[in-house]
Structure 1
């Protein structure tokens, strides 16, 4: 009898369909809430435009509202860079910390490894399951932006929507894979959660501080958030350097997780 293909991946996907559905509805609801409002509050000369013009420039830059009167700027600053960012980071943190550290704390990890499953296989398949779910959220985001593009008068192009969705996914993967790596290193979900959420918060703060002046702009080079959104992919297209950093660090964290789990004892 042939061995099942990707059994741990398929198990993780099957067991998490409810949470995946919940996050999907959350992403869809956020987009349906924000984007249709653009013609009335986000366009040039609108209430939002007048409000932003009266705010301190440093605050506007920190919030990423410099180009909020354009469809691309509004969508990127209100969803991808704010509420959508929070949603994908929370989902990534929840899924990744449960995948290894959560299972180890519950005792399920030791039982799984007792069934002729290698530690490398476990890390890679669990990572794939998290990545696929995050990719699904990024895809849902892209589909809804494109679906609302005309009615909400956003004026964005399909290629740029793909670019910002790739950056959005990469940002989620950095948190997820770091959470997996720390979970594999420590076996403690609290440490994995702190790392996954912490890198997102720190990245956001570095980007916000770096936007205050040209002297501080170099801080964005150390920010995953900056790698994703500093060059406004929804307005300008893909930033290949930023994408390389996001996906490169994600791959490095996966390798770290594999090595860490292979070289330490598992708590029973």
Structure 2
């Protein structure tokens, strides 16, 4: 099988230690979130003087406004939108997307890769598949960890159905797709791996900031539609117990458009260093 998809397996092999560390980190972090949720009542954790948390905290609970972070769905949703969770996702996406095209162009090895011969479409397809396999593994690790914690905590389970946990994990895949598409497009057009990593981080950081500002400041509310974090709402999925298909469709659609753009850019560009 490795002979049929050599670029796919090579991409995973080169980053096997990093991917192993990310998987362990994801499991440990989500386990910690579940332990905290089970040990402390969310309402007590975020209450101050009898008041609930500010509306801007919805950005941290992964909600569009229906779920407070001072609840079990909101607290578990915070574990799926926490900067640490985002950083692990972006580390995998930025690293593998940069290696898809831009890193080989930067190092001058792309001509050796293509001499087999390997078509540009196959190069992009196999390395995109490797990236998708990685983000699926990361989100599966987070989802299974949270699901196990919820199943073992009757108090949390009464407020959060297991179907909601798996729906939130599925929404995480949609968010990853939304990041992968633009990252692969930058890699297909770029000549430096730093360009891809920088663009990936910038999209996520600016998107999170825009969503936070839109929730905190009413005049900026329309800007929330420009942020992927307006559509990636694991807190809502946890509370409702199902996948939010319109939001998932937008996230996946952005990712697919990015991959299509990457294909067009790679076919038209000069691969010489």
Return closer, same or farther for 1:176/1:42 CA change in 2, 3 Å cut-off: farther
Any conservation in 2 of the 1:160–1:235 contact (CA below 8 Å)?
yes
1:26-73 per-residue CA deviation (whole Å, 9 max, x = no partner) reads 1011112221111332433x3x13349557625434544862332211
Mapping 1:28-39, distance limit 5 Å: 28-39=27-38
The farther-off stretch of 237-246 and 210-219 is: 210-219
Any conservation in 2 of the 1:88–1:172 contact (CA below 8 Å)?
yes
Where does structure 1 lack aligned partners over 5 or more consecutive residues?
Answer: none
> Whole-Å Cα distance in 1 between the matches of residues 5 and 244 of structure 2?
33
1:80 aligns with 2:54: no
Mapping 1:1-268, distance limit 5 Å: 4-44=3-43, 46=44, 48-51=45-48, 57-64=54-61, 67-77=68-78, 79-82=79-82, 83-152=84-153, 153-155=155-157, 156-229=160-233, 232-236=236-240, 237-268=242-273
Count, aligned residues: 264
> Whole-Å Cα distance in 1 between the matches of residues 128 and 183 of structure 2?
10
Taking structure 1 as the reference length, what is the TM-score of the superposition? 0.89
> Whole-Å Cα distance in 1 between the matches of residues 60 and 2 of structure 2?
51
Any conservation in 2 of the 1:85–1:168 contact (CA below 8 Å)?
no
Any conservation in 1 of the 2:150–2:162 contact (CA below 8 Å)?
no
Where does structure 2 lack aligned partners over 5 or more consecutive residues?
Answer: none
Return closer, same or farther for 1:20/1:37 CA change in 2, 3 Å cut-off: same
Taking structure 2 as the reference length, what is the TM-score of the superposition? 0.87
Kindly report the root-mean-square deviation, in angstroms, between the aligned alpha carbons of the 2 structures: 2.4
